[in-house]
A and B are shown apart, each in its own frame.
Chain A
Amino acid sequence: MQPALEQVWSWLGELPDPEIPVVSLTDLGIIRDVAWEGGTLVVTVTPTYSGCPAAGVISLDIERHLRARGIDDLRLERRLSPPWTTDWITPKAREALRVYGIAPPVGTAARASRMTGAAGPVACPRCGSEATEKVSQFGSTPCKAAWRCRDCLEPFDYFKCH
């Protein structure tokens, strides 16, 4: 008997992102579709960054998790278009990021600065101060930038608009 799609979505919602475990794969918006094709469950995943080292682990996690729940006939598909954007991160996940110490993306990806460098202001996830500054556009993973708070002096990660 095939589990209902809602059930599959809820199982997928239990899977944490391997790099940022406070956020689930579904909250991150990278699972684009779940569908039955005859007896085969097809899970469509979109990558965050082309070279994201977590991508392989994510596929493995999905497969292992669903197999453990009795789904043996399973196929993962990659979908590139439309490209993943931080706009798809749910409000719940944004708050979870902040509590975890990562400043969530500010504004929408379409508004993200390019040559102007005017991304922000980013509030410090620890003390809430907006007296913050960018240290580097690239942080501990491709999706994050390194920022610093001028009030509490703590460095922090900023999940940059993408």
Chain B
Amino acid sequence: MAPAMSDVMTPDAAELARRSQGSGRAPLAIGSPGHDLFLGLARLGDNTLILGHRVSEWCGHAPILEEDIALANMALDLIGQTQLWLGLAGQVEGAGRDADALAFRRDAWDFCNLLLVERPNGDFGQTLMRQFLFDAWHQPMLAALEGSSDARIAEIAAKAGKEVAYHVERSADLVIRLGDGTEESHARMQAALNALWPYTGEMFLGDATDARLAEAGIMPAPESLRAPWDATVNAVLAEATLTRPVGTFAHRGGKQGRHTEHLGHLLATMQWLQRAYPDARW
């Protein structure tokens, strides 16, 4: 039984849903080191999965061929990284779920991606700005994870970091070109920045799980990524002649399983085949 609508906005909606599902297996205890690690890995993998899927929605629709190819390539990188993160998450969980099971068999309240990455694509400017705001965070995140006390995490981060270096180079370059472009492109980039800004704060907000993972040297404290993100964002926005919004309000909840309505629609598209034909192979 799914949670009632009124439950969905409560802080522990995900937990309510999980209990009502009665999966039959002994779950990792909330707050245990194993559960913290699983959650930390799932957050990383869900970010790359949901953004990778969003970006792949452009395939065949981008404004020019080169961008169509670039977007598809970045989506591939992100989905490839997802296989590594969710693969390790499933291994840590020890309940027999692999990366595919985690990607295709969980419902919205079990996803723990940032709200930023589930924002709809909008126009090309919005897609690009979302990518840049994420890349500017993703790069220092992976750099910090390269020093993780967990060697499995460090080696995935080293691999992914090389790919993401190209992502941030591209998105920063295009934000500058379009921000400092025509009146039309400038206006669209500024509008995209203003609309996405309230979704950036969540990247730097930690919860108890984050604190314990940071304490153990496994993952960086979210707030520690604020300074490198600010440095990249401020430099690129200045060159792009875009104005950094002053608001500090942050939408939050994605990391804890409380999502916007957009995630459910995305999952309906992404998961339909595995839902309709479980274990289908081809």
User: Are A139 and B69 CB-contacts (below 8 A) given A51-B76, A83-B159, A114-B165?
Assistant: yes
CB-contact partner of B81 in A51, A81, A136, under 8 A: A51
| Docked pose: A51 CA to B162 CA in angstroms | 13
Chain A residues within CB distance 8 Å of chain B: 47, 49-53, 80-83, 85, 109, 113-115, 117, 135-142, 146, 160, 162
B70 touching A138, Cβ below 8 Å: yes
**Range, interface on chain B:** 20 to 34
Question: Taking A80-B156, A83-B162 as contacts, is the C-beta distance between A51 and B169 under 8 angstroms?
Answer: no
Query: Are A80 and B84 in contact, CB atoms less than 8 angstroms apart?
Result: yes
The answer to whether A49 touches B169, judged by C-beta atoms less than 8 angstroms apart, is no
B69 touches A50 (CB 8 A): no
Distance in angstroms from B127 CB to nearest chain A CB is: 15
Contacting pair A50 B80 (CB below 8 A): yes
Please list 17 pairs of residues, one from A and one from B, whose beta carbons are closer than 8 Å in the complex, sorted by A's number. Answer: A47-B80, A47-B159, A49-B76, A49-B163, A50-B77, A50-B163, A51-B78, A51-B83, A52-B76, A80-B156, A81-B159, A117-B173, A137-B173, A139-B73, A142-B76, A142-B163, A146-B66
Which residues on the B side are within 8 Å of A50 (C-beta)?
Answer: 77, 80-81, 83-84, 159-160, 163
Q: Which of B145-159 contact A (CB under 8 A)?
A: 151, 154-156, 158-159
Q: A35: shortest Cβ distance to chain B, in Å?
A: 20
Beyond A50-B83, A50-B84, is A162–B162 a contact (Cβ under 8 Å)? yes
**How far, in Å, is B281 (CB) from chain A's closest CB?**
13
Do A52 and B170 have beta carbons less than 8 Å apart? no
Cα distance A149–B67 in the bound complex, in angstroms: 20
How far is A138 from B66 in the complex, measured between Cα atoms in Å? 8
B192 interface residue (CB < 8 Å to A): no
Docked pose: A51 CA to B163 CA in angstroms:
10
Structural contact, A80 and B69, CB atoms closer than 8 A = no
CB <8 Å contact, B158 and A83: yes
Interface-centre pick from A113, A114, A140, A160 (highest chain B CB count, 10 A): A114
Is B272 an interface residue when CB atoms closer than 8 A count as contact? no
Assess whether B69 is in contact with A51, with CB atoms less than 8 Å apart. no
Q: Does B175 contact A (CB under 8 A)?
A: no
Rounded to whole angstroms, the CA-CA distance of A139 and B156 in the bound complex is 24
A137 to chain B, nearest CB (A): 5
Q: Which of A81, A114, A140, A142 contacts B169 (CB 8 A)?
A: A114
